[in-house]
Structure 1
Amino acid sequence: MSGRPWYTSVIVANTTKNIKTLQDLKGKRFAFVSPSSTSGFLIPMNGLETAGIDPTRDFAKIRYSGSHDKATQNLADDVVDAVTNDKASFLRSQKSGKLDANYQVIWESNPIPSPPIVINTKKFAPEVIKQL
């Protein structure tokens, strides 16, 4: 962890597959963590869409790895060419030797407040929401 009250989402690619930018992801195999993951789906999906990339149209294959560690393993095992992750997980995988210098961050999000908070506005009074 960074010790900061925020973290970032990253897209990490195997650069031996000629991937250096988001546009290079077109036609490649890609893994998100899960549809409910902030750093492993929601934030990078917004980054991809902002860059004009529609994963369902532009990627050869989409996979949901199920966890940040499994996404890293999918990349290391050449199941996919690029993955979403949080930056701290990526840095740990580099430090441990699971991913070498051929795996690089090609996109990083703006800071995401840590931890994200989601409030069901139908179950909580406005006063409680404001207090939270």
Structure 2
Amino acid sequence: MLTRRHVAGAFAALGLLILPAIAQDWKAKYPELTLAVIPTENASGTMDRYAPLTAYLSKQVGVPVKLRVANDYAAVIEGQRAGNIHIAFYGPASFSRAVMTGVKVEPIVNQKHENGASGYHSVIYVRADSPYKTIDDLKGRNLALVDPNSTSGNQAPRFFLAKAGYDVDKVFGKTVYAGSHENAVLALVQGTADAAANLWNSETDTMITRMIPKGMLKKPDGSSMSQGDFRIVFKSDFLPEGPFAVLASLPDDLKAKIRQAFIDLPKADKAAFDRLSDGKDLDFTPVTLKDFQPIMEMLKFNDEQRRKS
């Protein structure tokens, strides 16, 4: 005799078969995912730094995750707008610009540095052997910025210097966008710029400390440069670290898999996590849109200043 218990049991068994199938439906639409990264360093350096992460994500998520090295910050923003980039690593300003221009993205985590802070500072460097010790000393000189959408390499210097009474475009004789943080430092080293804007995580974790082991910073006599060969003449207030973010349009179960993979990364694959920062970062910190509201206000201020000039 067919009883209510038998019917309930049959439906329960059917549900067990259907649920896993539903949970995997997204694989038909997303047989492959793309991770894109803003260009803080050269293309080969970016590939080396993020390849272990993409291998880890491929394993954890269950579909291949391919790395895309973007030519500039805008390429990451527009790639996510078009839906071609499913996961992205942004700076805080480029992420905020994406949100402000209508890109539907959700931040997941950002990195906690060795000093325990999930953020960093913008600095302006000069050569230590130069006569420049203040922003006033640099009036009429050349400044290497990074990218229009770079936080430490453009937006933060403009914002905080304006608050201190300096208009970047009027103080400096010439400003150029170098394209990456490494290129901005190289412009300073090679003498094509008198100052360079860049990121500063801690005393032992800067773009300079990351470039030195690669042999990228040399004095005219061929000897290696050190952090002491550079002087900071400007340092911004604290900035939240940029996030890893996913398209909001991805299926919820896929977003959950990606989010959990990032949260687990520091312990599940410490080598891949350490590669992201040369072993300098401690962990990931969960973030939300609210964490980047101060950066959005900074961008609005800079946009207004640009319209006035």
Which bin holds the TM-score, normalised by the shorter protein? 0.7 to 0.9
Task: Give the match's secondary structure for 1:36.
Answer: coil
Which residue in 2 is equivalent to 1:2?
113
Which residue in 2 is equivalent to 1:104?
231
Task: Give the match's secondary structure for 1:17.
Answer: coil
Give how far 1:61 is off. 1.5
Which residue in 1 is equivalent to 2:182?
69
Contact 1:32/1:64 (<8 A) preserved: yes
Task: Give the match's secondary structure for 2:129.
Answer: helix
Q: 1:92 aligns with which of 197, 201, 210?
A: 210
Moved more, 87-96 or 52-61: 87-96
Change in 2 beyond 3 A, CA 1:114/1:54: same
Runs of 4+ in 1 over 6 A off after TM superposition: none
Identity %: 32
Give how far 1:22 is off. 1.4
Structure 1, unaligned stretches of length 5 or more? 119-127
Instruction: Give deviations 1:71-90, integer Å, cap 9, x for gaps.
Output: 01111110101010001213
Question: Which one has a larger percent helix, Structure 1 or Structure 2?
Answer: 2
Instruction: Give deviations 1:18-70, integer Å, cap 9, x for gaps.
Output: 11111111011111101100111111111221232222222122110010010
Q: So what's the TM-score if we normalise by structure 1? A: 0.77
Task: Give the match's secondary structure for 1:66.
Answer: coil
State how far apart, in whole Å, the 2-side matches of 1:91 and 1:6 are. 17
User: Which protein has the larger Cα radius of gyration, Structure 1 or Structure 2?
Assistant: 2
Q: So what's the TM-score if we normalise by structure 2? A: 0.35
- Structure with more relative contact order (C-alpha pairs < 8 Å, separation 6 or more): 1
Moved more, 80-89 or 102-111: 102-111
Structure 2, unaligned stretches of length 5 or more? 1-111, 201-205, 218-224, 246-287, 293-309
Which residue in 2 is equivalent to 1:19?
132
Which residue in 2 is equivalent to 1:34?
147
CA RMSD of aligned residues (A): 2.8
